[in-house]
Every structure is written in structure tokens, then in C-alpha cells.
Amino acid sequence: MGGRTVEDPSGRGRASKPGCGEKGAAAEEKPLAPGLYLVATPIGNLADVTLRALSVLASADRIWCEDTRVTARLLASYGIRKKPLQPYHDHNAERARPAILAALRRGERVALVSDAGTPLISDPGYKLVREALAEGLALSAIPGPSAALAALLVSGLPPDRFLFAGFLPPRQKARRRALEPWAALLASLIFFESTPRLGESLADMAAVLGERPAAVARELTKLHEEVRRGKLGELAAYYREKGPPRGEAVIVVGPPVAAPPAPAEIDLRLEKALAALSVREAAARIAVETGLPRAAIYRRALDLKRAKEGGDEPGA
Ligand code: SAM
């Protein structure tokens, strides 16, 4: 059957969106509609660009980008002919934004890209999006690489809940203060960090968040890609001793490691479970609940059961 019909996010009518595994060629062949396209580009390996990103960049009337030389190289490497490239970065955004909005009002197809990865994610574009939406202008994301998600994937840390925290302040006092609200969050934390600050930032994370598993993902998708995993304190010591590595890096920190319940609490839970379950089943349930080794919990469950049956005090 054909693709699901969904509301066109640009508000320009209905569009056919392919479901998983279906071909979207028909939708892609349509001429590019007017609007602002937020286009993700590679974070290192040039091959990590989507077919749709290339198609939008090739069809756009204008491209606004952080550094025109970087984007010109990307376009040239895919044989996209010369087209107007204009800078949009932290230092000219206030002045450049009216020109972008004017182009959109004229019905042009405008692409926004950053030097690498997904625009707006610790890169310019958010204010432009807000203003374009306030004027009812069409807007689409062309998703693709982002260092934050790539780092989470290879970190080996829980991906089910995560907080992307961007860059931390460069000074220690402000950095520690910025970390405090996240200390109790039951989620993995993702930070962008400049490589010269890796050692200090990891040490502050260990101090404020407590010792936790973490990973430093460096030069992702590039020739010298490296992922170093360990406790926050170990990683801090490593980078302080070795000195800053080259390139770019993302820090991923695992959620707080829950302290195991006190022995009296474990006994209480086991006694409750033993009232309804066999020793084996009770031990399995409490081992899962507490994260403690099943064999130790099983031995304790046996002691408790024997003591109850014999009327003895269970062994300590
Ligand atoms: N918007 C971009 C994205 O979605 O990936 C991020 C831009 S932010 C200005 C740059 C930061 O992203 C770097 O300081 C680093 O923390 C991270 N980064 C970008 N490329 C990376 C890579 N190839 N490997 C590791 N980290 C990277």
C-alpha cells in the first residue's frame, strides 16, 4: 500500500510520507517548495550526508551557513554547482536575519547549514526559526548527523533517557554551578567540550555528579575516532596526565548509580517476596530490583527461610 498521508509540516497542503521501508522517491521528485530548510551536514566523514540534504542544497535558491568556505567545500565535493552562499554566524546573526526573512517572504527556498552536524544544536539558527514561525513562514528539518547522538550511541551508556546539556561554562565556579541541577537526574548527560578543557571538566563532573561511568567520544566519524570509557575520576586523571588530545570531543555521563539498599531493607523485601514465591523466584526478583548479585541474594533468602521454619535468628 502507499505511504501514510500526513499534514505537510510546512502548512502548504497535504504530502505523502513513506512509512518505514517504503520508497520515498515520488515525494523527493517534487520540486522543492518555498521555505526554510534546516539541513544537517557531516561531522567529519563527508559520506555522512543524506540524499535529501544534497537534493535540498542543490535546489535551494540560497544557502546561509556559518563559514562559506566550509560549505563551499561540501558542495564542491558533491558536484553541486556554485550558488549564493551567505554567512550566518554568532557575530552577524542580528544583521543577517532580516535578509533571510525577506528572502523567505519573497517565496525563496532557503537552506541553513552549520559547519558540521545539525544546525541549532549549539550552533546558530534558533532565533531565525522563532522569527520565521512568528511570521507563519514554512519550515522543515532535513535530519542527519549530530555529534551528540553519535557520541551517545558509542558511549555504551543508557540511551533510553538523556539530557543534552551543550557546552559548560569555561570557568570552574560557573561550571560546577551549572552541573548541580543535573546531579539527581536519572538520565545520561551529554556535553560538548573543547579538548583543552576535558581534564578540568571531567574532574568537576566527578566532584558535583559523583563518581559515575562516562565516555569521551573524540573525532567521531573521522580517521582518528576514539572512544575512551571509564569512571569520571579515571577519565579526568587520564586527560590531566596526558594533556589535551587533538580534535573535537563529546562527554557522555551515565545516570547516577543507585546505592544498594541497606541489609535490613533487603531482608524486608526478601521476607515479603518469600511469603508468595519460592526461594529461587524471590531471590531472582530482589536481585533484579536491587541490582545485587543473584547468588548472594539467594543465599540470604535461604537463610531467612530456614530461620523462619526453624524459628532461629537468620545468620548475619
Ligand atoms: N551542531 C553540531 C552537531 O550537531 O554535531 C555541533 C556544533 S558545536 C559548535 C561543536 C562541538 O560538537 C564540538 O566542540 C564537539 O564537542 C562536538 N563535535 C562536533 N564534531 C565532532 C566530532 N566529529 N567528534 C566529536 N565531537 C564533535
Output the pLDDT for position 310: 84
CA–centroid distance, 303 to ligand 1, in Å, is 54
CB distance 63 to 78 below 8 Å: no
Output the pLDDT for position 28: 52
Q: Is 256 left (phi over 0), alpha (psi -120 to 50) or beta?
A: beta
Q: Is 188 in the pocket of ligand 1 (CB under 6 A)?
A: no
Section 296-301 average pLDDT: 91
Query: Is 80 exceeded by the pLDDT of residue 295?
Result: yes
Q: Is 123 in the pocket of ligand 1 (CB under 6 A)?
A: yes
Q: How many CA atoms lie within 13 A of 222 on its CB side?
A: 17
Output the pLDDT for position 29: 65
Query: Is 50 exceeded by the pLDDT of residue 16?
Result: no
Output the pLDDT for position 137: 98
CA–centroid distance, 61 to ligand 1, in Å, is 27
Mean pLDDT for the chain overall: 89
Output the pLDDT for position 17: 39
Which set of grid coordinates corresponds to residue 63?
544557502
Model confidence over 37-81: pLDDT tens digits? Answer: 999 999 999 999 999 999 999 999 999 999 999 999 999 999 998
Atom of ligand 1 nearest to the CA of 121: 1
pTM score above 0.75 = yes
Looking at the chain, the number of H-run helices and the number of E-run strands are 12, 12
Section 252-268 average pLDDT: 87
Q: Provide the H-helix boundaries in 21-139.
A: 25-29, 51-59, 68-77, 93-105, 126-134
Q: Is 147 in the pocket of ligand 1 (CB under 6 A)?
A: yes
Contacts of 127 (CB under 8 A, 6+ apart): 93, 97
Q: What are phi and psi of 244, to 5 degrees?
A: -65, 135
CA–centroid distance, 226 to ligand 1, in Å, is 14
Least confident of 93-107, 138-152, 252-266: 252-266
Output the pLDDT for position 312: 62
Question: Given pLDDT bands bounded at 50, 70 and 90, which one contains residue 286?
Answer: confident
Output the pLDDT for position 192: 98
Model confidence over 195-212: pLDDT tens digits? Answer: 999 999 999 999 999 999
Topology given in CATH for the domain delimited by 148-253: 3.30.950
| Best residue among 65, 198, 250 to mutate for probing ligand 1, ranked by most atoms within 8 Å of CB | 250
CA–centroid distance, 44 to ligand 1, in Å, is 9
Topology given in CATH for the domain delimited by 21-145: Cobalt-precorrin-4 Transmethylase; domain 1 (3.40.1010)
Q: Is 218 in the pocket of ligand 1 (CB under 6 A)?
A: yes
Residue with CA closest to ligand 1 atom 11: 192
Q: Is 122 in the pocket of ligand 1 (CB under 6 A)?
A: yes
Question: Given pLDDT bands bounded at 50, 70 and 90, which one contains residue 26?
Answer: very low
Model confidence over 83-134: pLDDT tens digits? Answer: 899 999 999 999 999 999 999 999 999 999 999 999 999 999 999 999 999 9
